[in-house]
Amino acid sequence: MIYIFTALYCEAHALIRRLQLVKNQKTTRLQEFYNEQSGIRLTITGVGEIAAAVAVSSICTAYPPAEDDLMLNIGTCAYTRSAGAPQTRVFEDGEGVFLCNQIFEQATGRSFYPDMLYRHPFREASIVTGRMPWNADAGGASDNDIGHAGAGVDGNGYGGKTSGDAKLFHVRNDMLYDMEAAGVYQAGVHFFGPHQMIFLKIVSDFGTADGVSPGQVERLMEMHGDALLTFIGQLLERMTDERQRDTSPEAELADKLCRDLHCSKTMEASLKQHLHYLALAGADVCLLIQNLYKEGIVPCRDKREGKLRLEELKQTLF
């Protein structure tokens, strides 16, 4: 399963359409979209770190992720332009998508590091998560009400003016700036390892978020939709490959053998440990178990006999 979190609907629209996600009509608090078949669950978190963290923990509590699941935070962000750089620096086609290799929380100065394991066609950058939208002209986080993806359009309660922002982290030029990534990471870390979390950001502005409309965000996401989809497709493919390698046909037979040996919990653990080892060492465990039945060694009458047979069996294994 891939869990996708975006702050706004307009950031998700292109993915919902391309991934053929359907809305979960049973939920009211968060907008959720899913496709059981392809194993995708997308949630709109709302703008800001806290909203993002709440959404991640709420979804992951409702649908606990497995060890090989992935979490993607996808959304728009600002690019902190160099002083004196032209106001409207435009990224070449396909260049506007960034994979984040380092996340800073502006308010605390803390840093977080998702693993950078997978090949990708995007550029990489550090991202700063702040409480307010990035306003280049004001030299940093602005106190206006507009979030990066043309927030003010989401109706999720974002927009309160904050004061006393610690700004422990000094935002440098040529970084990404958003309002969710650090929150997603900090909530995500309770459910995922750093190898399972991926942060993809699309540059929507250079510190002029109030000029970005939802329609523009939607078009921007549309423009990069194919690249995002290809990347998600490759992640899904890898997950399928790994899972196929993980299937163990002997598990059911081992359960039957445990029952027919009248195993206690301790005996069962010991037997399964031996069988697991043998399977990993390349032995045909299914054949081995079938032979025990053929030779009439199992089923046993009772636990006493089962214990004897188990010890005999263990002796012959090495």
Partner 1 sequence: MKNLNKHYFNPFFSHIYVETAVLGHPFTRRILAKFPAAEIIEIRHYKDVFCRSHQSSALQHRSQKLILAAKQGTLVYEGAPVCQSFGNRYFYYTSCAMNCIFDCAYCYLKGMYPSANIVIFVNLEDIFAEVAQILRMHPLYLCVSYDTDLPALESIAGYVREWCAFAGKHADLKLEIRTKCADPALFARETPSPNVIYAFTLSPQAVIDAFEHHTPSLAKRLSCAAALLQAGCAVRLCFDPMIYVKGWERHYETMLAQVYDRIDMDKIVDVSVGTFRISQDYLKNMRRQETKSAVVWFPFQCERGYCHYPDALMEEMEAFLTGRLAGRIPEEKIFRWDMETTEHGKA
Q: Report the interface residues with partner 1, using CB under 8 A.
A: 94, 101-102, 111, 113, 115-122, 124, 126, 189, 192-195, 230-231, 234, 237-238, 246, 270, 273-274, 276-277, 280-282, 314, 318
Nearer to partner 1, 17 or 190 (CB): 190
Least distance in angstroms from the C-beta of 102 to partner 1? 5
Retrieve residue 234's tokens.
């490759």
Please give the biggest Cα pair distance in the chain.
86
Least distance in angstroms from the C-beta of 88 to partner 1? 23
Residue reference for tokens 């060492």: 281
Continuous segment of H or E residues that includes residue 257:
helix 250-260
Could you tell me the CA-to-CA distances from 162 to 28, 45, 155 in Å, in that order? 28, 20, 18
Cα separation, 71 vs 185, whole angstroms? 10
Nearer to partner 1, 94 or 155 (CB): 94
Amino acid, res. 282: G
Nearer to partner 1, 219 or 314 (CB): 314
Least distance in angstroms from the C-beta of 243 to partner 1? 13
Least distance in angstroms from the C-beta of 172 to partner 1? 10
Nearer to partner 1, 59 or 279 (CB): 279
Least distance in angstroms from the C-beta of 196 to partner 1? 8
Least distance in angstroms from the C-beta of 283 to partner 1? 8
Nearer to partner 1, 246 or 302 (CB): 246
Cα separation, 204 vs 212, whole angstroms? 7
Least distance in angstroms from the C-beta of 274 to partner 1? 5
Nearer to partner 1, 33 or 177 (CB): 177
Cα separation, 186 vs 112, whole angstroms? 8
Retrieve residue 296's tokens.
């009439």
Nearer to partner 1, 13 or 274 (CB): 274
Continuous segment of H or E residues that includes residue 42:
strand 40-44
Q: What are phi and psi of 50, to 5 degrees?
A: -70, -45
Query: Which residues are bridge partners to 73 per DSSP?
Result: 5, 199
18, with CB counted inside 10 A (0-12, 13-18, 19+), is: middle
